[in-house]
Structure 1
Amino acid sequence: GGAPGGYAGPPPTIPPPPGWRPPVHVRPTPPRQLPPQDMAAMDQADGRAQRLTYGIGAVVGVVLVLLTCLLCSRLLF
């Protein structure tokens, strides 16, 4: 019983009977212990990476400013 010439909707769902899942007998092994982290070394590496990123950004910014000045001077003169 659906709409004439239209979508009748999804079929009705019937819930599964209780206890339909099979019993679980195998227990997974507990997770391994992770190695300790050297937070001081991680902070130093993060600082070096940040300085490198800022240095590359500064070089790119200077190059872009110089190119913009060169382009503007060519347009004006």
Structure 2
Amino acid sequence: MTTPSGDRPEDDYWRRPPDPADGGMTDDPPRPPGPGPSGVDPPTGYGGPPPTTPPPPGWRPPLHVQAAPPRELPPQDMAGLDAVEQRAQHVTWGVGAVAGVVLLVLLCLLCSRAFR
């Protein structure tokens, strides 16, 4: 690991700017201005955001094209959907039952080897 020495010109970009009151470089962070003699903070020069004015009455662009009304969805076959869902549920139960039987057989085989 190298430590920057500050002797290289590419380090000048990262240096703190000179303090005009000090006439040189400072390593201390600048202090915020304190309250003035009357105990009131000095003005910062920021007068707040500019006042807003409402837009003119016809500021929106003209509307030339009206959107088409939404289309109707096709009717659904509720009895057909129920039948397909029931078949899918039976397939899921069948796959689960087969996986359970396979796991039970493997467990029995492992236990029988452990007790020999």
Normalising by the smaller structure, the TM-score range is 0.5 to 0.7
Look up the SS of the partner of 1:55 in the other structure.
Answer: helix
Identify which of 31, 34, 40 aligns with 2:79: 40
Aligned alpha-carbon RMSD (Å): 2.9
Q: Which contiguous aligned blocks of 4+ residues in structure 1 show a shift greater than 2 angstroms?
A: 16-19, 21-24
Among all aligned residue pairs of Structure 1 and Structure 2, give the percentage whose two residues are the same amino acid. 53
2: CA distance, partners of 1:18 / 1:70: 82
Corresponding pairs, count:
66
2: CA distance, partners of 1:71 / 1:17: 82
Look up the SS of the partner of 1:27 in the other structure.
Answer: coil
How far did residue 23 of structure 1 move? 4.1
Question: Comparing both structures, which one devotes a greater share of its residues to helix?
Answer: 1
**Rg larger for:** 2
- The one-letter amino acid paired with 1:45 is V
1: CA distance, partners of 2:54 / 2:92: 59
Unaligned runs of 5+ in 1: 5-12
- The one-letter amino acid paired with 1:64 is L
TM-score computed with the length of structure 1 as normaliser: 0.67
Unaligned runs of 5+ in 2: 1-29, 31-48
Identify which of 84, 91, 96 aligns with 1:57: 96
1:1-77 counterparts in 2 under 5 A?
18-19=54-55, 22-23=60-61, 25=63, 26-77=65-116
Q: Which has the higher contact order (CA 8 A, sep 6+)?
A: 1
How far did residue 60 of structure 1 move? 0.4
